[in-house]
Amino acid sequence: MPEMTEKISFTINGEYRSVEIDEEMMVIDVIRDVLDLTGTKRGCDNATCGTCVIVMNGKAVKSCNTPASKMQGANILTIEGLAKGMELHPIQKAIAESGAVQCGFCTPGIVMELHALLESKPDASETELSNALNKHLCRCTGYEPIRDGALIAQQLIRERMTEKA
């Protein structure tokens, strides 16, 4: 039987895009294979490891098990959309400074998870931060530097908000 195709439109990293998808595709297939945004990593491919997390309509979403049709009309952010030119987003800076980037494979998913939480809730509790990080597997760091990085990120985001006020 021929695959059904569908045209969808969405905004990704501030850019409006329209693409053709087939019914089997997940969000990660569109992001990596159609749009060539390979910063989002494919790990387990079964919603376990968290490496594929992106932000969709302000929420952290596992792109490996979210059907591509859900992208229709959505506002999507991937790791490529965070830095402003050479200037890293505070969460990227914090995660780098805390030594939480070793092989780096888990990093984009963790940064996007923290972005979804801290940009909407800069006063998130330590439990909320832990719950968010618990969705992510890391083979390298032992998790302590990631937790430290999350706390530094929260501090930087709060400072940025105070500067703007």
Positions in the binding site for ligand FES (CB under 6 A): 42-45, 47-52, 62, 64, 101-106, 138-141
Q: Please identify, using beta-carbon distances, which residue of 53 and 156 lies nearer to ligand FES.
A: 53
Rounded least distance, CB 99 to ligand FES, Å = 10
CB of 134 to ligand FES, least distance (A): 13
Nearer to ligand FES, 104 or 160 (CB): 104
Question: Rounded CA gap, 92 and 96, in Å?
Answer: 6
Q: Determine contact, residues 13/76, Cβ cutoff 8 Å.
A: yes
Answer whether 84's CB lies under 8 Å from 67's CB: no
Q: Between residues 5 and 48, which has the closer beta carbon with respect to ligand FES?
A: 48
Smallest gap, in angstroms, from Cβ of residue 54 to ligand FES?
10
**CB of 12 within 8 A of CB of 54?**
no
Tokens coding 153 = 């990120």
- Least distance in angstroms from the C-beta of 63 to ligand FES: 7
Q: How far is the CB of 10 from ligand FES (least distance, A)?
A: 19
Which residues, including other chains, have CB under 8 Å from residue 138's CB and lie 6 or more apart? 106, 110, 146
Which residue number, 58 or 99, has a Cβ lying nearer to ligand FES?
A: 99
Q: How many residues does the chain have?
A: 165
Cα–Cα distances in Å, from 45 out to 33, 68, 91? 14, 14, 25
In the bound state with ligand FES, the residue whose beta carbon lies nearer, of 12 and 100, is 100
